[in-house]
Amino acid sequence: MSRSSYDRYLTVFSPEGRLMIEYAFKAISGAGITSIAIRGKDTAVVITQRKVPDKLLDPETVTHVFQITPTIGCVVTGMIADARAQVQRTRSEAAEFRYKYGYEITPDALAKRMANINQVYTQRAGMRPLGISMILIGPDDERGPQVFMIDPAGFYVGYKAVASGQKQTEATNFLEKKWKSVENGSLSLDRAGVLELAIETLSNVCATDFKASEIEIGISSTSPDEPGEGGKLGGTGRFRQMNEAERDEWLIRVGEKD
């Protein structure tokens, strides 16, 4: 293959008027996993596949779900090295905001800040766009649960439900059909409803009955059914990752429902 078939300059427009950032988007789907985020009345959830490429690896060290602040978490789809660098920068930005203003950053302010940083990566020759998409979830005191997705070009927007990765198109179509049931009231998006819809969507688009070790679930909820301080019920909105036993319980629950 000739070298001329690849574009070598990030900051030069193509004849169609695009910057050569499509390769970063290709890296997201090329990772071979699908991630989904859904928000409900009092709960926001992220779910993603966990693929361990080697039997000798410790599966607990393979993750795409990260905690940013006590209440904000994310799932990052794409190149894992880029993901860890982006998560570290996101944590730094959130900590700096907390130090400067005396309170935790909101999900929309954090999404805007990280999108601005991503946009700078598209215009400087000494930096390359990161081959990842980041989905942030967390509660807002005024707006309730929030979901934001940030892409390599620096675009961000809030979603009711969103997918990224290899099966993004199929998952989006599935969620759009399901959302009609939400709008007409036949599907409730309480804590249980959000979790069941997230698992059902991932299982359908991947055409797989997942084991608990093959998925990751992150949740931020203020629901009365969410475990809170000291093991008591009554969620505080803190972000946490579900352990394997809890994931297995929800997989069984969704399987029996089908």
Residue 98: pLDDT band (50, 70, 90) is very high
Across the range 82-95, mean pLDDT stands at 96
Q: Give the torsion sign (CA, 166, 52, 107, 222).
A: positive
Q: Which pLDDT score is estimated for 11?
A: 64
Q: Which pLDDT score is estimated for 89?
A: 97
Does the pLDDT at position 187 exceed 60? yes
Q: Which pLDDT score is estimated for 234?
A: 75
Residue 185: pLDDT band (50, 70, 90) is confident
Q: Which pLDDT score is estimated for 194?
A: 95
Top-tier CATH class for 20-257: alpha beta
Q: Are 161 and 37 in contact (CB under 8 A)?
A: yes
Average pLDDT, the chain: 89
Number of Cβ atoms within 10 Å of the Cβ of 176: 10
- Pairwise CA distance, residues 35 & 201, whole Å: 10
pLDDT digits (tens, 9 = 90+) for 29-68: 888 899 999 999 999 999 999 998 888 989 888 999 999 9
Burial 83-118 (b: 16+ CB within 10 A, else e): beebbeebeebbeebeeeeeebbbbbebbebbbebb
Does the pLDDT at position 6 exceed 70? no
Q: Which pLDDT score is estimated for 31?
A: 87
- Residues 6 or more apart whose CB falls under 8 angstroms from that of 64 comprise 33, 35, 48, 50, 75, 76, 77, 80, 83, 216
Does the pLDDT at position 13 exceed 80? no
Q: Which pLDDT score is estimated for 235?
A: 80
Q: Which pLDDT score is estimated for 9?
A: 66
Q: Which pLDDT score is estimated for 149?
A: 97
Per DSSP, what are the bridge partners of residue 48?
35, 216
Domain assignments of the chain as residue spans, ordered by start: 20-257
Per DSSP, what are the bridge partners of residue 155?
none
3-state secondary structure of 230: helix
Q: Are 131 and 27 in contact (CB under 8 A)?
A: yes
Least confident of 94-98, 171-175, 187-191, 214-218: 187-191
Residue 230: pLDDT band (50, 70, 90) is low
Extract the tokens encoding 206: 């991947």
pTM comes to 0.91
Q: What is the 3-class SS of 176-226, one letter each residue?
A: HHHHHHHHCCCCCCCHHHHHHHHHHHHHHHHCCCCCHHHEEEEEEECCCCC
Q: Which pLDDT score is estimated for 258?
A: 66
